[in-house]
């Protein structure tokens, strides 16, 4: 009897040890969370194919999560729409049918009036033009109109829109120039945000390419001024009323001697009118007061670099995604009284046609994070060979 009891103990311990090694517990998996299967190679269902599904731009318009993807070299991206209420991919648009020769929609979306959104594209080959897209949603699905190339020979690396001024703002690739484009004012290009010779020499010493140092996102404050980063580790502000660019006095927060890595990875406009940003270089969260132009380092939510997504939910808290290659993404939330809470690596149950319950998707590499228009759901997009959309409710 004692022998049997001892053996049972051994078996239980073995099972526990095995469970640990597969990490069956400890993931972020709140009640009501789910992962929508949006990519599946050789699929009988509406899905994105392998190597063209990295969700590098994301916006929520009503019930729809609208995504723009990045593809492997030689392949083209997609626009897609997911119904959050139906938990299903409902529309895909192969961008090759609209603008051939593009590889990525990584600019983020800018919001126009009446649910229209805008995005920019990156070309397959450097030196070829990226395009601006006007994206509309209807019962028929996602529709895109080519608005042309804003700057000859340049891709569109980052984009935002001011619906009130009917103006798009962007950062070009590889030069890093800032541009504005509107029906009334045409396209204006500003060179001052591009790296000068000294900055380029510095980047060369660190083997950094434009994709590593250009501002990944742009933001608007309540007055319609535009914010982004420029070399090296600085923040610029464009005032549309004077058409001038100023460089704010402070630096992006940096770890000593890694300042060269600083650039804006993400932005969120807070309910307090302050801007919150993520620094890609070392993954610091910072706050920028548009009134004073002062940047405050709020610290690092996790140990890794990158902070690719930020958004305020209806609970007034800031949700973000930090980290990524060569590690894994962590979700976090932040508010001034609570500080940071590392929510961990998400693992949600997958939903999709003919999927049995219990298939779990783990979000190792998350590129985008947005909240639903009511602030009740956080929606995240993977950037994997086969990427999915992960959703969780904010209680």
Question: Binding of another protein at residue 40 (CB under 8 A)?
Answer: yes
CB of 384 to another protein, least distance (A): 5
Contact 391, 36 (CB under 8 A): yes
Contact 269, 275 (CB under 8 A): yes
CB of 259 to another protein, least distance (A): 20
Which listed range, 35-43, 143-151, 218-226, 369-377, lies at the site for another protein (CB under 8 A)? 35-43
What is the enclosing helix (H) or strand (E) of 21?
helix 2-22
Query: Which residue number, 22 or 139, has a Cβ lying nearer to another protein?
Result: 22
Query: Which residue number, 18 or 138, has a Cβ lying nearer to another protein?
Result: 18
DSSP conformation class of 389: E
Instruction: List binders of another protein among 50-69 (CB under 8 A).
Output: 50-51
- Pick the binder of another protein from 109, 361, 377, 392 (CB under 8 A): 361
How far is residue 23 from each of residues 61, 73, 152, 154, 364, measured CA to CA in Å?
Answer: 35, 34, 50, 45, 14
Question: Binding of another protein at residue 14 (CB under 8 A)?
Answer: yes
Which listed range, 56-64, 97-105, 265-273, 356-364, lies at the site for another protein (CB under 8 A)? 356-364
Question: Binding of another protein at residue 23 (CB under 8 A)?
Answer: yes
Which listed range, 1-9, 208-216, 248-256, 288-296, lies at the site for another protein (CB under 8 A)? 1-9
DSSP conformation class of 75: S
Question: Binding of another protein at residue 359 (CB under 8 A)?
Answer: yes
Question: Binding of another protein at residue 8 (CB under 8 A)?
Answer: yes
- Pick the binder of another protein from 111, 163, 364, 393 (CB under 8 A): 364
Question: Binding of another protein at residue 6 (CB under 8 A)?
Answer: yes
Size of the site for another protein (CB under 8 A): 44
- Pick the binder of another protein from 275, 343, 384, 391 (CB under 8 A): 384
Query: Which residue number, 17 or 97, has a Cβ lying nearer to another protein?
Result: 17
Instruction: List binders of another protein among 242-261 (CB under 8 A).
Output: none
Instruction: List binders of another protein among 274-303 (CB under 8 A).
Output: 303
Instruction: List binders of another protein among 305-334 (CB under 8 A).
Output: 326-328
- Pick the binder of another protein from 41, 209, 223, 272 (CB under 8 A): 41
- Pick the binder of another protein from 347, 368, 378, 389 (CB under 8 A): 347
Q: Please write down the HEC assignment for all residues of 261-316.
A: HCCEEEEEECCCCCEEEEECCCCCEEEEECCCCEEEEEECCCCCCCEEEEEECCCC
Which listed range, 79-87, 166-174, 202-210, 378-386, lies at the site for another protein (CB under 8 A)? 378-386
Question: Binding of another protein at residue 15 (CB under 8 A)?
Answer: yes
> What is the phi/psi pair of residue 51, to 5°?
80, 5
HSE-up (13 A, CA, CB side) for residue 39:
26
DSSP structure string for 189-258 = EE-TTS--HHHHHHHHHTT--HHHHS-S--EE-TT--EEEEETTTEEEEEETTTTEEEEEEEEPP--TT-
Contact 35, 361 (CB under 8 A): yes
SS3 assignment, position 45? coil
Give every strand in the sheet of 167-173, ordered side by side: 155-162, 167-173, 178-182, 186-190
Tell me which residue of 131, 174, 158, 191 sits closest to 264, measured CA to CA.
Answer: 158
Query: Which residue number, 221 or 282, has a Cβ lying nearer to another protein?
Result: 282
How open is the CA angle 256-259-261, to the nearest 5 degrees? 125
Query: Which residue number, 41 or 272, has a Cβ lying nearer to another protein?
Result: 41
By CB under 8 A, name the binding residues for another protein: 3, 6-11, 13-18, 20-23, 27, 40-42, 44, 50-51, 303-304, 326-328, 347, 349-350, 355-362, 364, 384-386
């Amino acid at each position: 009897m004692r022998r049997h009891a001892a053996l049972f103990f051994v078996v239980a311990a073995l099972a526990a040890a095995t469970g640990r090694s597969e990490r069956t517990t400890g993931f972020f998996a709140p009640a009501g969370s789910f992962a929508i299967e949006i990519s599946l190679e050789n699929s009988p269902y509406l899905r994105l194919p392998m190597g063209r599904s990295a969700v590098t731009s994301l916006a929520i318009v009503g019930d729809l999560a609208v995504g723009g993807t990045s593809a492997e070299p030689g392949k083209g991206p997609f626009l897609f729409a997911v119904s959050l209420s139906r938990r299903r991919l409902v529309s895909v648009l192969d961008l090759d049918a609209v603008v051939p020769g593009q590889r990525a929609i990584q600019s983020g979306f800018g919001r126009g009036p009446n649910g229209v959104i805008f995005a920019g594209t990156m070309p397959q080959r450097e030196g070829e033009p990226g395009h601006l897209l006007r994206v509309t949603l209807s019962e028929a699905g996602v529709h895109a109109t080519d608005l042309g190339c804003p700057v000859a020979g340049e891709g569109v690396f980052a984009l935002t829109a001011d619906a009130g001024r009917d103006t798009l703002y962007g950062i070009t690739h590889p030069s890093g120039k800032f541009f504005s484009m509107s029906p009334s004012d045409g396209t204006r290009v500003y060179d001052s945000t591009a790296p000068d010779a000294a900055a380029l020499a510095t980047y060369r010493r660190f083997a950094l390419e434009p994709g590593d140092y250009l501002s990944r996102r742009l933001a608007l404050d309540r007055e319609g001024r535009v914010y982004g980063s420029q070399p090296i580790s600085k923040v610029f502000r464009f005032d549309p009323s004077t058409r001038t660019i100023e460089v704010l006095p402070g630096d992006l927060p940096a770890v000593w001697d890694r300042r060269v890595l600083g650039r804006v990875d993400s932005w969120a406009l807070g309910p307090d009118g302050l801007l919150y940003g993520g620094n890609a270089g070392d993954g610091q969260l910072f706050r920028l007061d548009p009134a004073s132009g002062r940047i405050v380092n709020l610290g690092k939510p996790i140990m890794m670099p990158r902070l690719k997504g930020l958004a305020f939910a209806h609970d007034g808290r800031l949700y973000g995604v930090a980290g990524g290659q060569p590690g894994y993404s962590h979700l976090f939330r932040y508010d001034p009284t609570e500080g940071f809470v590392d929510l961990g690596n998400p693992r949600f149950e997958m939903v999709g046609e003919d999927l049995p319950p219990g298939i779990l998707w783990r979000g190792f590499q998350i590129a985008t994070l947005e909240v639903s228009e009511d602030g009740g759901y956080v929606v995240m997009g993977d950037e994997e060979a086969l990427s999915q959309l992960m959703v969780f409710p904010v209680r």
